[in-house]
Chain A
Amino acid sequence: MSAVAAAGEASAERHEIVALAGELGRRELAPHALALDDGLSDALQLAWSRVAEVGFDRALLAVDDGGVGLDAGSLLLCLEEIAVGDAGVALLVLLSNAALAALPPEQAAAIAETERWALVPAAPEGLATSAAIAARGDGDPALTGTLSPALGALGADGVVVVCGDVEPRAHALAAGTPGLQIDACEPLLGLRSAAPARISLSSAVAVAVPPAGGAPATVDASLALLRAGSAAIARGVARRAQEMAIEYAENRYQGGVPIIEHDAVREMLAAMKVRESATPAQHGAEIDPAAALTTRVAATEAALATATDAVQVFGGTGYMHETGIEKLMRDAKSLQLWPEPAWIAYEMIAEALGG
Chain B
Amino acid sequence: MHVAVGGTAPSLQEAFPRLRQLEKHDRGLVRRLERRQLEARQFADAHLRGIALDVDRRADEDPSYFDWELIRTGGRQGMLDFLLPAQVGGGGCFTIECAVVMEELCAGCPGLALIFGAHGLGISPLLLDGPVHWDVMSEVAAAAQRGEPMLMACALTEPDAGTDVEDVDLLERARITSHARRVPGGYSLSGTKRFISNGGVARWLTVMMPVDPRRPAETWTCFLVDAKSKGFWVARNEHKMGQRACPASELVFDEVFVPDDRLVARVGDGAGATLIVLAASRPPVGAIATGIARGAYERLLGWLREDPDARGLLERQSVQLRLAGMAEQIHLSRQAYMDAAVEFDVAALGGATGSPLLKGLGLVPTGVHRRRRVRRLMSAPATRDALAGFLNRATSNEAITRSLGLSSLAKARGGDVAMGVTGAALEIAGLTDAPVRAELQKLWRDAKLCQIYEGTNQLNRLEVFRALVARETMPALPPRRRRVDNAGAVI
Mark A residues whose CB is within 8 Å of B.
127-130, 148-149, 185-186, 188-189, 196, 198, 253-257, 262, 264-265, 304, 308, 311-312, 315-322, 326, 329-330, 333, 336-338, 340-344, 346-347
Q: How far is the CB of B240 from chain A (nearest CB, A)?
A: 6
Tell me which of A253, A257, A343 contacts B428 (CB under 8 A): A343
Q: Cα distance A337–B437 when bound, in Å? A: 12
Tell me which of B162, B441, B459 contacts A316 (CB under 8 A): B162
A-B interface pairs (CB < 8 A), number: 123
- 5 A-B pairs within 8 Å (CB atoms) are namely A129-B309, A130-B432, A315-B452, A316-B157, A320-B238
Q: Contact between A149 and B175 (Cβ–Cβ < 8 Å)?
A: no
Tell me which of A196, A316, A337, A347 contacts B426 (CB under 8 A): A337
Q: How far is the CB of B435 from chain A (nearest CB, A)?
A: 8
Indicate whether B23 reaches chain A with its CB closer than 8 angstroms.
Answer: no
Q: Cα distance A342–B425 when bound, in Å? A: 12
Provided the pairs A186-B433, A343-B318 are in contact, do residues A255 and B452 lie with their beta carbons within 8 angstroms?
A: no
**Across the interface, which residues of A come within 8 angstroms of B195, CB to CB?**
316
Interface residues of B in 430-465 (CB under 8 A from A): 430-435, 437-438, 441, 444-445, 448-449, 451-453, 456-459, 461-462
**Across the interface, which residues of A come within 8 angstroms of B438, CB to CB?**
186
**Across the interface, which residues of B come within 8 angstroms of A130, CB to CB?**
309, 432-434
Provided the pairs A253-B160, A254-B163, A337-B431 are in contact, do residues A326 and B453 lie with their beta carbons within 8 angstroms?
A: no
Q: How far is the CB of B316 from chain A (nearest CB, A)?
A: 8
Q: How far is the CB of A208 from chain B (nearest CB, A)?
A: 26
How many residues of B sit at the interface, in one of the four size bands?
35 or more
Tell me which of A129, A315, A322 contacts B431 (CB under 8 A): A129
Indicate whether B471 reaches chain A with its CB closer than 8 angstroms.
Answer: no
**Across the interface, which residues of A come within 8 angstroms of B427, CB to CB?**
336-337, 341-343
Q: Contact between A330 and B430 (Cβ–Cβ < 8 Å)?
A: no
Provided the pairs A128-B429, A344-B430 are in contact, do residues A311 and B444 lie with their beta carbons within 8 angstroms?
A: no
Indicate whether B419 reaches chain A with its CB closer than 8 angstroms.
Answer: yes
Tell me which of A198, A315, A317, A330 contacts B433 (CB under 8 A): A198
Tell me which of A317, A333, A338 contacts B423 (CB under 8 A): A333
Q: Cα distance A158–B145 when bound, in Å? A: 58
Nearest A residue to B174, CB-CB? A255
Interface residues of B in 293-336 (CB under 8 A from A): 309-310, 313, 316, 318-319, 322
**Across the interface, which residues of A come within 8 angstroms of B240, CB to CB?**
319-321
Q: Contact between A129 and B445 (Cβ–Cβ < 8 Å)?
A: no
Indicate whether B239 reaches chain A with its CB closer than 8 angstroms.
Answer: yes
Q: Cα distance A343–B431 when bound, in Å? A: 13
Indicate whether B487 reaches chain A with its CB closer than 8 angstroms.
Answer: no
Q: Contact between B430 and A128 (Cβ–Cβ < 8 Å)?
A: yes
**Across the interface, which residues of A come within 8 angstroms of B426, CB to CB?**
333, 337
Tell me which of A128, A312, A321 contacts B452 (CB under 8 A): A312
Q: How far is the CB of B259 from chain A (nearest CB, A)?
A: 31
Q: Cα distance A338–B316 when bound, in Å? A: 20
Indicate whether B173 reaches chain A with its CB closer than 8 angstroms.
Answer: yes
Contact with A along B162-173 (1 / 0, CB 8 A): 111001011001
Q: How far is the CB of A128 from chain B (nearest CB, A)?
A: 5
Indicate whether B386 reaches chain A with its CB closer than 8 angstroms.
Answer: no
Tell me which of B238, B433, B449 contacts A149 (CB under 8 A): B433
Q: How far is the CB of B46 from chain A (nearest CB, A)?
A: 25
Indicate whether B241 reaches chain A with its CB closer than 8 angstroms.
Answer: yes
Q: Contact between A185 and B452 (Cβ–Cβ < 8 Å)?
A: no
**Across the interface, which residues of A come within 8 angstroms of B441, CB to CB?**
188-189
Further 7 A-B residue pairs, CB within 8 A, beyond A129-B430, A189-B444: A128-B313, A128-B432, A129-B309, A255-B167, A321-B241, A337-B426, A337-B431
**Across the interface, which residues of B come within 8 angstroms of A347, CB to CB?**
316, 318
Q: Cα distance A162–B49 when bound, in Å? A: 38
**Across the interface, which residues of A come within 8 angstroms of B453, CB to CB?**
316
Q: Contact between B452 and A338 (Cβ–Cβ < 8 Å)?
A: no
Q: Contact between A319 and B162 (Cβ–Cβ < 8 Å)?
A: no
Q: Contact between A129 and B174 (Cβ–Cβ < 8 Å)?
A: no
**Across the interface, which residues of B come within 8 angstroms of A315, CB to CB?**
162-163, 452, 456
Q: Cα distance A319–B239 when bound, in Å? A: 9
Q: Cα distance A329–B438 when bound, in Å? A: 17
Q: Contact between A264 and B458 (Cβ–Cβ < 8 Å)?
A: yes
Q: How far is the CB of A264 from chain B (nearest CB, A)?
A: 4
Q: Contact between B241 and A319 (Cβ–Cβ < 8 Å)?
A: yes
Q: 10 tightest A-B contacts by CB?
A: A256-B173, A264-B458, A255-B170, A321-B239, A341-B430, A148-B433, A326-B241, A316-B195, A341-B427, A255-B173
Q: How far is the CB of B187 from chain A (nearest CB, A)?
A: 26
Interface residues of B in 386-428 (CB under 8 A from A): 419, 423, 426-428
Interface residues of B in 151-209 (CB under 8 A from A): 157, 160-164, 167, 169-170, 173-175, 194-195
**Across the interface, which residues of A come within 8 angstroms of B445, CB to CB?**
189, 330
**Across the interface, which residues of B come within 8 angstroms of A318, CB to CB?**
452
Nearest B residue to A189, CB-CB? B441
Q: How far is the CB of A37 from chain B (nearest CB, A)?
A: 11
**Across the interface, which residues of A come within 8 angstroms of B435, CB to CB?**
186
Q: Cα distance A316–B239 when bound, in Å? A: 12
Tell me which of B163, B428, B433, B461 contacts A129 (CB under 8 A): B433
Nearest B residue to A146, CB-CB? B433
**Across the interface, which residues of B come within 8 angstroms of A149, CB to CB?**
431, 433
Q: Cα distance A127–B310 when bound, in Å? A: 10
Q: Cα distance A265–B458 when bound, in Å? A: 8
Nearest B residue to A350, CB-CB? B318
**Across the interface, which residues of B come within 8 angstroms of A185, CB to CB?**
433
Q: Cα distance A265–B462 when bound, in Å? A: 12
Q: How far is the CB of B244 from chain A (nearest CB, A)?
A: 10
Provided the pairs A255-B164, A264-B458, A315-B163 are in contact, do residues A320 and B241 lie with their beta carbons within 8 angstroms?
A: yes
Q: Cα distance A257–B169 when bound, in Å? A: 13
Q: Cα distance A256–B429 when bound, in Å? A: 45
Tell me which of A254, A329, A342, A344 contacts B448 (CB under 8 A): A329
Q: Cα distance A317–B459 when bound, in Å? A: 16
**Across the interface, which residues of A come within 8 angstroms of B430, CB to CB?**
127-129, 337, 340-341, 344
Provided the pairs A128-B313, A130-B432, A343-B428 are in contact, do residues A264 and B462 lie with their beta carbons within 8 angstroms?
A: yes
**Across the interface, which residues of A come within 8 angstroms of B462, CB to CB?**
264
Q: How far is the CB of A55 from chain B (nearest CB, A)?
A: 30
Q: Cα distance A148–B429 when bound, in Å? A: 13
**Which of B313, B322, B449, B458 has the most A CB atoms < 10 Å from its CB?**
B458
Q: Contact between B157 and A338 (Cβ–Cβ < 8 Å)?
A: no
Contact with A along B252-287 (1 / 0, CB 8 A): 000000000000000000000000000000000000
**Across the interface, which residues of B come within 8 angstroms of A262, CB to CB?**
458
Q: How far is the CB of B323 from chain A (nearest CB, A)?
A: 11
Q: Cα distance A319–B446 when bound, in Å? A: 10
Tell me which of B160, B434, B448, B459 contacts A308 (CB under 8 A): B448
Q: How far is the CB of A286 from chain B (nearest CB, A)?
A: 28
Q: Cα distance A336–B441 when bound, in Å? A: 13
Q: Cα distance A342–B161 when bound, in Å? A: 38
Q: Cα distance A127–B316 when bound, in Å? A: 13
